[in-house]
Structure formats: structure tokens, C-alpha cells
Structure 1
């Protein structure tokens, strides 16, 4: 069997699959602490190094830039080498990038370190594959939701604790010690995870893709859709280069931006070529029906994660300022009030996974998208005439549907094609970052009320796509064992 047959969820145990769940969410939690360790310390960093507003903005942008391709690359590594090795290596390498950032003494060095640290944001996709190996379809949604929700809380934990850590160390270098402490945490846990984690239950097979570098596709139509869905990843990176270029933040020179555009286009063409080469053989000969899957399922989940996690990242970035400007709150109070949006992760994301397990993947996702759209419509109506507690309640209700929707998306990801779960999770996860960049770009041109309405309208469009094109995972998917025999894995 590829997963234990038991359906119990005993979170107070540290044995078997529950042990793997706890090891995984803690690894994800630490990766998010590391990824966002700079955010609550930016005021100290800005003062210590004398950074300008444009330079601070550039560091924030660079922090998410590498995560888009990194999630795709890490997804491929996970499928090929297994979660245990890849998660341990990611945490190990990220710890030294942390130390690099903590020791930076100029904007250029800090910008490079922050760009490279975006790589740790890809850690999320590793646990998606690992959890799917240990939990059966009946409970995989809840397990993935706990992994994502509890791990995602790492960004809030960093905001709550690192300023205090920096204060305890004291002096101008307090922020450096706080950043370094998160690197030390990642370094130690990389060994803990490697020693204690296992890719699969004892006796189970870890299925790997037949070819590396691109996903295997079942039909020519699916391959065209795959290429189309690849394009936004490169366009988003080009958009980030434009933001850093002479027309905006003036960090990159015109020649550098042009070189980035040319490089991205060349890499995209190579990716298209590689997709064709990986799939050329079996598409000509015809793929075994047992091995086929529908790529439209992946495409729909990409877009669903774009409007769920993408909107969460965008809203969390602008919400403190929105509360300051709308209600005249102090920065500290506005930050505390706005944090209510992220805090819902602890409950909401597992709830989305549970609803998917209980009521069906498609139905749950559709209901949550409707709730998300209504939630953002309500937020678009917030004005200074509202009572602050009512506005906070509206934000929390909206965030529940947003984060539960994220849980519903990743309750479906492991049920499409087991041996490519890492690659699928990587692509879906990358679309979350694409959504954040797109929505924040919209925000830079319009009022907050229009910004919220744009997200709500996008959710309505995705709802219609889910309703028309998404299929409920059902029956079994086939995987071929190394000896050539076929194993059927239940997904519905």
C-alpha cells in the first residue's frame, strides 16, 4: 500500500503518520520564519544601514522573486530525490543564506542575500508530497490543511517574536543576532528532520517520474495548456524586473532590465522545447490509459490558488496601511489589527481540507470561492464610518474563506497523479506568488476599495471555471512499480 489504511487523526501522537505530520509542519513553520524574518525588523535594518524607501521596497520585492521558479524546481527535486533529503537540504542551505543576510553591510549585499533567501519559500511544496505519501484520500485534505495552516503561521510568529529577540540582544546589531538565530534554528532542524523523517511508510513504494525537467502530459491538447500555464511565471518575473527598473524603483539599470527580459524569454523557449522533448515519445506512441490524467485539473488549481493564497499575500502586505489611512490608527495598532487576517490560518486552512474530505473537493472549493468573493465585496465597502471592531470582523470572516480555500486546493493536489505530486504542488504554489504580484500591481494603480473588488471579481471567474471544468477526484489512479506491476491508489 502507498499509505496507511487507518483513517484516524490523533494529533497528540508522535508515532507513524502523525509523527511525519508534526515533523513536516514544523519544517514548514521554520522555513516561513526564515523567509519573513526581515519583515518585522525592517525599521531597525533601515536605520542601521541608512536605506532609502526605494531600497526597502526593492528588498521586499526581491524576497518573493526567486520563490516563483524555486517552487517549480523544488517540486521536481522532491519527486526525484524524496522529501526527506530535499527538505533537509533546503533548511541547511537556507541557514547559511540567513547568516549571509545577517552579516550584510551594504544594500547590494543585502539585496543579493534577500533574493537568494526567496528560495526557502519553496519549502511548502515538499511537505505536500510527503503528507500525501502517509495519509489516505479520506484524511489527506485535513492533514495537508494542518501542515499548511500551522506552518504558514511561521510568518506571524516571526513578526511576534523577532523584535523582542533583537531587543534582548540590544545595540545596533540586535537585528543581526535575531536574523542569525533563525538561521541557527533552521540549521539544527535540518539534521533533526533528516534523522527522523521517512519518505514513505515501511514497505511502501516512492513513485518517481519517468523523466525529469518537465511534467509528463497525457495529450497534445494538455501539452498546449501546459505551455500556456507556464508563460505567467516568466511574465511575472519580467514584471518584477520592470518594478525594479528605471521607470519605477530605479534600482536596476535599463541594460540590466533588458538583459533580464531577454534571458527570461530564452529560458521560456528552452522550457517549451524541453516540454516537447520529455513528452514527444509517449505522445507519438500513445500513453497507456492507466497512466493518463487531465492537466486541466492542474490548471484550475493554479488559478484557484492565485485568487486564494495570492490574495492573502497581497492583502497582508497592504492591510496595516489601509487601517492606518482609513481609521487613523497608529502603526503598531494597525499592525496588530491587520494581523487578524493571517492568524486565521491556524483554523481556516485545516477546515478547508476537512470540508474537502467530508463534502467533496469540487463542492467545497466552489462554496469557499463564493465566500471569498462575498468577503472581498464586503471589505470593499469599509469606510471611516465603520466601527473598527466591525471592520476587523469583516476581515476575519473574509480571511477564513481565503485560507480555507487554500486548504481545499491542496486537498486536491495529491489526488491528481501521485508520482508528480511535487511538480504539481510546485506549479500550483508558484501561482500563489504570481497572484500576489499581480494583485499588488493592481493595488499600486487603484484605491483599496477597487483593489478588493478586483480580487472578488477574479474569484467569481475562477468559481465559474471550477464549476464548468473541474472534475471531482474519484476511483483510483494507477502507478507502476519498479518491477513493472501496477498498483492502484484510491483517491475518492
Structure 2
């Protein structure tokens, strides 16, 4: 059991005073529910290509590397796009940004569903589909501004569970395409995005006392880049969330190739992985509200290291392989929640959006490279083991950074 963290005592308040985001805070619950729903919907769109990877490989006669590139392109765009989107959210607020990004995402969704018919076409559509992955940088500063420090870990964990939109895609895309035609999943997502944009425009509200930073977007991004804690947290999130993204986009292809599963079966197993990781993210945030977040995060990286080594052995999928993958899902989910509990603790409120953009971008980029590495590894060695060994080494490095540099910053209580 991790030791209880005594440094995060709730702030004192006078009688009748209401903490922002507390039970009497009015809009905190609605803000959390709407932002989580928006995150899930846009992530559903963001992950549309992944379950179709094996099908598109056959239809377009792709190599293993080309298939990996196809499903990875939305990831890198959605990652890099978080940097300006996070800074813009600090300035413009989530009420403007959420519906705007949702509506812009409709365009590539419809293009992919009706017009893309070649590798180049899908790469172009996937590039702009990356817009759906940027909403993470909208929701984190928004939720952070509604909740007091002692409740942010759980609140941000609940919001982060919106990454379960990838599970919706994994569960439904292949099945809907088979039942109603290949266009139907894209049309359905486009309609849902439009509906969410309308609801968000009508009901979403930024807190009245939201801090609005001064200075240009570029100046604030440059200031965030100069913060050592932002760079450290970026690496840690690249390992935790990047690992989750990498598995969610490449696991269907891996299970099909390495274990001979049918595509529908592989998609459902991937959805199970995603659901478990999503469920564990709020758990990670809750643990960090009540216990030492450094120990929580370090423990998750230790588990990832051990299970990645086990996966590298490529033992039978049932039961050992399944246990390894589900354990990785749980550990990565806890890790993603723990990293942003540390963001809320170590970064000033007016900088959360800019820092979230950087950290979120690093997380997405962390999910971009592993599918490419796995595709190259299999193409060269006809084996995936090297990819898992590299994951184990990276997770071990993240654990070492957490227990040393990040622990020192948490003890000092400063973002500098």
C-alpha cells in the first residue's frame, strides 16, 4: 500500500464559502460530463482507421510498414495539434474550442468514408482526422479550472476516461461496416460529432473566474518549453499514454498476424484492452489524490516493464499472453491518470493549457512510433520481440525519472 500523501491537505474555508467545483459549485459536474463526452466522441472519430487496418491492407495491397503508417498518421497529427490547441484553450476557453474542433473533425470523417480510395487518399484523410485527437488539450485545462486541487486527480481521471472513444471504435467499426457497408461507421460518427458540437455550444460554460493568460500563444508555448517539469512530464506521458495509444491502434494487426485471430475477434480483444485501460485512468487519479503520486506512477512503470518482457517471449495467447496484455492495460491506465494528477499539482492554473498541450502532444507522439517500430521489426525479423524489449527499457527509464527528478519537484512543491 502506498503511503498516504500528507502534503495535499484540503484548503481551509470559512462558513458559507464554496470551493469552486465543489458540490455547491454549480457547473462543475456538468462541465465534467460534457467535456468527457466530447473527448470520447472525438476520440471515437480519431480511432476510426485502426480497426480497418487489416481490411485496408488487403484492399490496397499494403506492406506491413504502410499499414502501420496508415493507422499512425492520425496519431501524430492529433498529438502535435494539441500544442496550439492547448494554448488557444487558455486564451479562448473550452466553450469555443470544443464545438469548433468537433465540427472541423466532421470533414475528414466524411472524406474517408466516401472519397478516399488509395493509400495517398487515406493518408491525407488520416492527417486531418488527427484533429479529433486534439480535444484532450481542451478538456484538461477546462476541468482543472472547475475543480479544487484536492479533487483534480479524480476529476481529470474521469475526464481522461473519455479516451474510451477508442474502445467504441474498436467494438463497432468492423461490425458496423460488415452489417451496413463501409461508409456507415463514418456517417454515424459525423452525425454524433455535429450533435455534440450543438450541445456543447448551448450548454458548455467556462468558469467565470477562469484565469486568462496574457501574451501571445507563441510566447506562452516558449515559456512552457522552458519549464523543466513540463519536459519531464512530457516524457512520462509519452510512455504511459503513448503505450496505450500504440496498443489501441496496432493491437488488432498484431493479434491477427502473430496469433492468427480473425479480424472481428482481434478487434473485440483490443476493445477489452482499451476498456480496462480507460477504467483504470480514474483509479490512477484517485490514488494520487489520496497517496503519494510518485509511488503510484513508479509502480505503474515497474509493472509495464515486467509485463513487456513477458510479452516479448510470445507465449500462448491463452492464458499467459492475455494476462500480460490486460496487465499492461491496467498499468498504463493508472499511469496516464497519475501523470496528469502531477500536472495539476505542479503547474500554475494559467499555464495548464499550454503545458497540457506539450504533455499531450508527447503522449500522442509516444503512440506514433511504436506501431512503426513493430511493423519494421516484423518486416525485418519476422518477429515482434524486439519491440517489446524496447518498451520494457523505456518504461524502466520512465520509472527511474519518476523516482528521482519528479519526486524532488513534488517535495519542493514548485513547477520551476
Cα deviations by residue, 1:320-354 (Å, 9 ceiling, x for unpaired): 44444554444433433343321212321011111
CA contact (8 A) 2:170 2:270 kept: no
SS in 2 for 1:339: helix
Q: What 5-or-longer segments of structure 2 have no aligned partner?
A: 1-10, 12-16
SS in 1 for 2:220: coil
In structure 1, what is the Cα distance between the partners aligned to 2:54 and 2:304?
A: 33
1:29 corresponds, among 26, 36, 40, to 40
How many pairs does the alignment contain?
390
SS in 2 for 1:426: helix
Normalising by structure 2, report the TM-score: 0.84
Matches within 5 A, 1:60-459: 60-107=71-118, 108-149=120-161, 151-169=162-180, 174-200=181-207, 203-215=208-220, 226=225, 295-324=227-256, 326-384=258-316, 388-415=318-345, 416-443=347-374, 444-445=376-377, 447-459=383-395
- Alpha-carbon shift at residue 44 of structure 1 (Å): 6.0
CA contact (8 A) 2:114 2:183 kept: yes
Cα deviations by residue, 1:388-410 (Å, 9 ceiling, x for unpaired): 03321221112111111011111
In structure 2, what is the Cα distance between the partners aligned to 1:316 and 1:64?
A: 11
- Alpha-carbon shift at residue 82 of structure 1 (Å): 0.7
Structure number with greater Rg is 1
Pair 309,131 (structure 1): closer, same or farther in 2 beyond 3 Å:
same
Say whether 1:53 aligns with 2:65: no
In structure 1, what is the Cα distance between the partners aligned to 2:255 and 2:18?
A: 47
CA contact (8 A) 1:79 1:209 kept: no
In structure 2, what is the Cα distance between the partners aligned to 1:217 and 1:57?
A: 32
Say whether 1:463 aligns with 2:399: yes
Pair 343,465 (structure 1): closer, same or farther in 2 beyond 3 Å:
same
Aligned match of 1:487: none
In structure 2, what is the Cα distance between the partners aligned to 1:333 and 1:29?
A: 23
- Alpha-carbon shift at residue 435 of structure 1 (Å): 1.7
Aligned match of 1:472: 410
Pair 197,176 (structure 1): closer, same or farther in 2 beyond 3 Å:
same
CA contact (8 A) 2:68 2:250 kept: no
In structure 2, what is the Cα distance between the partners aligned to 1:409 and 1:43?
A: 33
Normalising by structure 1, report the TM-score: 0.72
CA contact (8 A) 1:144 1:407 kept: yes
In structure 2, what is the Cα distance between the partners aligned to 1:379 and 1:9?
A: 44
In structure 2, what is the Cα distance between the partners aligned to 1:113 and 1:324?
A: 25
Pair 4,205 (structure 1): closer, same or farther in 2 beyond 3 Å:
farther
In structure 1, what is the Cα distance between the partners aligned to 2:280 and 2:372?
A: 27
Cα deviations by residue, 1:439-485 (Å, 9 ceiling, x for unpaired): 334322364223222112111112222222111177699xxxxxxxx
In structure 1, what is the Cα distance between the partners aligned to 2:258 and 2:54?
A: 23
Pair 58,364 (structure 1): closer, same or farther in 2 beyond 3 Å:
closer
Pair 468,360 (structure 1): closer, same or farther in 2 beyond 3 Å:
same
Q: What 5-or-longer segments of structure 1 have no aligned partner?
A: 228-294, 478-492
In structure 1, what is the Cα distance between the partners aligned to 2:110 and 2:86?
A: 25
In structure 1, what is the Cα distance between the partners aligned to 2:371 and 2:57?
A: 22
Pair 88,379 (structure 1): closer, same or farther in 2 beyond 3 Å:
same
CA contact (8 A) 1:309 1:432 kept: yes
- Alpha-carbon shift at residue 43 of structure 1 (Å): 5.9
Pair 168,332 (structure 1): closer, same or farther in 2 beyond 3 Å:
closer
- Alpha-carbon shift at residue 31 of structure 1 (Å): 0.2
- Alpha-carbon shift at residue 163 of structure 1 (Å): 3.5
- Alpha-carbon shift at residue 65 of structure 1 (Å): 3.3
In structure 2, what is the Cα distance between the partners aligned to 1:473 and 1:163?
A: 48
In structure 2, what is the Cα distance between the partners aligned to 1:412 and 1:394?
A: 27
SS in 2 for 1:132: helix
- Alpha-carbon shift at residue 412 of structure 1 (Å): 1.8
Of structures 1 and 2, the one scoring higher in RCO (CA 8 A, sep 6+) is: 2
In structure 2, what is the Cα distance between the partners aligned to 1:321 and 1:44?
A: 10
